[in-house]
């Protein structure tokens, strides 16, 4: 099917319908005959389709930006044209059910709200604006806009570049922002999106190494304790706290979940049960009463080697201490008694052993020092 060149007097919708019909016919033939062509021809066709998709994305950005300029959410679909003042004529009253242009695009085009907002943001920064006098104004990102107009990069790559420039705009100089925009646009035209993301991270780390410091209003709005419901038998709780609040919470949780502090406090206050009957009648958790091993004789303790520095505390070989039942357990510290040989200066030196001459060992004791 032959397609005539687009004339300015021709309706855009009618021309695009003809293009769509031609592409639909081509898609049917390509689906049936794709396996019969050579790989070189197939690769060239796929490349042409990808370039055509970039052109379609450019048309999507232009359409969304123009609809936002005409404030279609308030004016609605009318036959009136845009005036030099930048708004369609009307009494100013809202005539549609949409709050903004993104809502209109979501309803009319059947796209997500995030995609609609992406098109609006990208179109506002890459397309030229118009002053009240009718003179054109340059876009905020001229290099990125020129690449989109030439269908050199995709809309997703342009969105990544635009968001990266906006993140470092508050800290970087205008010359650095311009250089970042130009270099990222060239990278997007020569490489894929994965490489572009890594290059964006490098630029952001160089221009803004510390990141943006959050404002007090932002922290106040985001902090709090959030209940995330029950999942797999567990209740999920999410906490968003500042640095100071986190230090307080960590101190309280570590103190309240430490089993050593609970056992020591119960023994010092005398509140812990001393016998099994008292333990059964108590309402709190059952803990064994502390037993002193120093009062028992060595025969009652049985054979075994005691730990250094802790008389009366022994454990048989192969015995392991059972882990506590409660969370927040900290490893118990074991004191040890060191001698002169374990000083820091002697830890890494081998022990020197005194060697006697072999003749003294054979001769035996000195007869002059032996008493009769």
The answer to the question of residue 276 being in a domain is no
89-106 pLDDT, tens digit per residue, is 455 555 678 889 999 999
Looking at residue 266, its pLDDT comes to 65
In a domain, 134, yes or no: yes
223 within some domain: no
Give the pLDDT confidence score for residue 72 in this predicted structure.
87
pLDDT at site 306: 47
Q: What is the pLDDT of residues 37-86, one digit of tens each?
A: 999 999 999 999 999 999 999 999 999 999 998 888 888 888 777 655 44
Q: Which residues in the chain land under pLDDT 50?
A: 85-86, 88-89, 274-280, 282, 291, 293, 295-296, 298-312, 326, 328-329
Question: Does residue 225 fall inside a structural domain?
Answer: no
Q: Is residue 260 part of a domain?
A: no
Structural domains in the chain (count): 1
Q: Is residue 206 part of a domain?
A: yes
pTM for the predicted model, two decimal places: 0.56
Domain membership of residue 8 (yes or no) is: no
Residue 192 lies in a domain: yes
Domain housing 144? 128-211
pLDDT at 260: 82
Q: CB count, 10 Å around CB of 262?
A: 18
């Amino acid at each position: 099917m032959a397609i005539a060149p687009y004339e300015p007097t021709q309706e855009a919708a009618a021309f695009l319908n003809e293009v769509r019909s031609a592409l639909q016919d081509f898609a049917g033939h390509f689906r049936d005959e794709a396996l019969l062509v050579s790989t070189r021809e197939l690769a060239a066709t796929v490349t042409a389709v990808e370039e055509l998709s970039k052109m379609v994305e450019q048309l999507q950005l232009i359409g969304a930006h123009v609809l936002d300029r005409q404030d279609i959410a308030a004016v609605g679909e009318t036959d009136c044209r845009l005036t030099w003042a930048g708004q369609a004529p009307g009494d100013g009253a809202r005539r549609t059910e949409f709050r903004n242009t993104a809502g209109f695009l979501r309803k009319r085009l059947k796209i997500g709200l995030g995609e609609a907002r992406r098109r609006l943001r990208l179109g506002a920064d890459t397309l030229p604006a118009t002053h009240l006098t009718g003179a054109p104004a340059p876009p905020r990102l001229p290099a990125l806009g020129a690449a989109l107009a030439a269908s050199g990069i995709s809309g997703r790559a342009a969105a990544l570049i635009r968001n990266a420039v906006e993140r470092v705009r508050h800290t970087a100089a205008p010359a650095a922002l311009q250089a970042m925009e130009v270099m990222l646009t060239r990278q997007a035209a020569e490489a894929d999106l994965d490489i572009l993301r890594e290059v964006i991270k490098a630029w952001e780390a160089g221009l803004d190494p510390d990141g943006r410091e959050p404002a007090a209003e932002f922290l106040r709005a985001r902090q709090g304790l959030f209940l995330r419901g029950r999942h797999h038998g567990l209740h999920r709780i999410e906490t968003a706290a500042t640095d100071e609040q986190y230090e307080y919470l960590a101190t309280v949780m570590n103190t309240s979940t430490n089993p050593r502090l609970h056992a020591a406090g119960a023994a010092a206050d005398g509140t812990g049960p001393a016998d099994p009957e008292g333990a059964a009648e108590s309402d709190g958790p059952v803990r064994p009463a502390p037993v002193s091993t120093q009062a028992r004789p060595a025969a009652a303790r049985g054979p075994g080697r005691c730990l250094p520095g802790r008389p009366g505390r022994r454990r048989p070989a192969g015995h392991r201490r059972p882990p506590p039942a409660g969370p927040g357990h900290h490893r118990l510290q074991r004191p040890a008694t060191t001698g002169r040989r374990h000083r820091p200066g002697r830890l890494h030196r081998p022990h020197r052993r005194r060697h006697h001459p072999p003749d003294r060992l054979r001769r035996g004791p000195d007869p002059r020092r032996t008493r009769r």
